[in-house]
Structure 1
Amino acid sequence: MKSSSSLQRRLGLGLTLGVTLLWLVATLASGLVVRNELDEAFDSALEETAQRILPLAVTEIVNREEPLLPQQIAMLRPHTELLSYLVRDADGNVLLQSHDVDPALFDARPRTGFRTLDHHRLYGESAVSDTIFIEVAEPLAHRRNATWDAVMALLLPLLLLIPVSLLGIWLLVRFSLQSVLAYKGAIEARGAGDLSPVTAARLPAEIEPVAQAVNQLMERLRRALESERSFTANSAHELRTPLAAALAQVQRLRRETPGGPLQQRADQIESALRRLVRLSEKLMQLAKAEGGALVSAEPHDVVPVLRHVVEECRRAFDGRTPELSVPGQTPVFTTLDVDAFAILVRNLLENALKYGDEQQPVRVCLSQTGVLRVSNGGPVVPEAVLAGLTARFSRAPGTHSATHSGIKAGSGLGLAIVEAIARGAGTSLTLHSPASNRQDGFEAMVQLPQQG
């Protein structure tokens, strides 16, 4: 089964990722805008530079003795030249040039206006009736560096924004989901048998209908279970008195009846009434097992209770004494209710004594860690049958009319009662066939609940 993911984690990571992606998209859009604005600014600078230098160049050329003699402007001090220019006549003869210009960048004849080469952006302007031209060149790398610097100025805050956003969103989501987390904790803290309404304050509007529906469902389930348990317990209780009276009358009638068919019929009626008495007792036990309050607040030693129940079963089953194994004089503590523990052990022992092989002993073992094992001899129970033995009124094949391993069949409620007690106490009943360390037999194991 795939584990569910945390809503808080999904919202925190999702919102942080969303903010990051939006920031990146905004940075990309801003970079494109910045690039266009920088291109306009640099083109304007090229145009302004050409228009400022050209009149000075024309004056210089016209006033010198040999106007057609090329002249290079001397460098005042070492520096990085981002703009270089070339002044020529209409035939392409160089009249004036900056100190670091590369003539190979320019065409053979001068041109006016803007144009873009592989590595430079050029602008040309003319004067004196298109006889003197100036062309200014700017490296495109300069523009790219300026654009990259602007984009990085937007991206660098993202390195700080991501952890800050994650922390801020995480705290905001946790604060917003505080009531939901409290509701979750309240549900997790209650036991399986607690069907009381779950109270949680200030739930979000989206969750509150779910909480109300859960409480309504739990209330309906509680009423249904209480009605079922009440009917079972009341029916079993009300049957005890008339069954006891009928059994007494049949026993008296049997003693007063001479031998023969009538005596045999009275014996059959007495056996049927005894089975009804046992069934009513099992129904009472089942009602208690499903009624909750199976775990006590303080742990207690169950070894004396176990010895007492084993002794009761010895008297009830004509002296068949189960083999009892407990950890010496060391007490074994559990939080399982004493009455529920006695019912659990009694049903496991009755199941083993009824359905186990009479020639092999029934073994009861309680470990120091609270593991209770009850095993008996007999044929191996098929796995398909084993899985359904904890259902109500379920018996192993061959037990409905006569015997199972030579023993009379019971009510089919013993293991169902044990299963209900184990489930209500927060533990489980485990069935094995063959039994542990054996080739045959049957074993029931329950881990008694411990404190903490």
Structure 2
Amino acid sequence: MNSIRGRLTLALLLCIVLSWMTWLCWQAMQMNREQTGLWDASLRDIGTQVLRSMPDSVTQLPNAPTQPQPSRFQDGKMSFQVWVDGRNVVHSPAAPAGPLKPDFRDGFGTHRIGDDMWRVYSITDRKRGIVAQVGRTQATLNRELHNLKRLSLAVAALIFSLLGLMIWIVVRWSLAPVTALHDSLLARRPLDLTPLPTEAMPTEVRPLVDSFNKLLARVDAAVQNERRFTADAAHELRTPLAVLAAHTDVALRATTIEEKDAALRRLSSGVQRSARLSEQLLDLARLDAGASTEGFGQVDLSELVVLVVRDFEALARDRGQHISLQTEPGAILGDIDQLGILLRNVIDNAVCYAGEGGQIAVSCRPGRSNDIRGMRLEVADDGPGVAEEDRARIFDRFYRAPRSTGRGSGIGLSLVAQIAQSHGACIEVGPGLKGRGFAISVFFAGAAAEH
């Protein structure tokens, strides 16, 4: 059974049934014991009343057995006899002919008379010589006990049914907010990711709804990131593709080899820029999908820096630039793919804006920041730099400084900031080489493992 309502109702009813059966068995034993005591007390009381109702003189009693007028101690379930000198002078209609208690000893006794077992009480008035005997058959006692038990069972069954109905109603009422939540979810639009209300939720269910709301928030963030990425990609790719189409038309209409070569060179430059933009957009989409720290491991940052710098040496050489590199071994905890994206974008930004014949210095070494040990990556150039008022915004997505002349799209440094944040790193910016240009420093906190 997967229904919480059904489980609760069944569990409560089973607990009640087991408790009720235990109580019933105990009650049956008590009833047998107490009812026997009540019957004995009733026999004693009626025997005393019969003895008191007899006349003071035995001479007033009849010689032959007679039946008295109905009285309050004749209930039809009990028989009595009055004996004087061995004579049965008074008896009830159903009383047997012989004595109920043949030994005529005072007190209670159980005797077989005919086919029945009798419970008998005998009491003697020795001054008058009168013996009163009162008895009931065991069948009568058993029948009364059976009727009493049957009545108890009927009442218990009625109470049990009402209790089961009440439990069902209470459980249904308690789970009504969950049912309402289910109905509201079914009525929602497909992309309605607003949080579910928790005010009316039971305390036991509220943590589940809170967790579901957190999941909805993550899904909503992913959907919004996807929408934003789609819009940004469409906006950013529109211009480069239009430029490529224009360069292609120019190359097709060229009448000389020189004109065609010049158009093809511009086309090649546009293709490279579009490829770089597509690569950054894909990196952006992957990060927006949700970076997790579960895949983090030990990464030797200095080795990764060397590999990335080597990838840019050919491009820097074509632009007449010089890249200097200083590294010291040290490991950090991170994702090697994301760190590679960060390094490529930081170095690409320096190569892009350093200009023809520019100088670029890349360093990676252990360091400290606010007495915290870690690894510091720094990339500096001697290009035109970034104005003081623009430095606060260069890490915003798709932002480019107004006086920027490079081929960037405003994505690279936003990727750097996003990856640094996921790795718990802090970024500092300042002037570059020889008091000019621009420098970016990324500090990765944590113990650096020296070799």
TM norm structure 1 = 0.43
Q: Name which structure has the greater RCO, CA cutoff 8 Å, separation 6+.
A: 1
TM norm structure 2 = 0.43
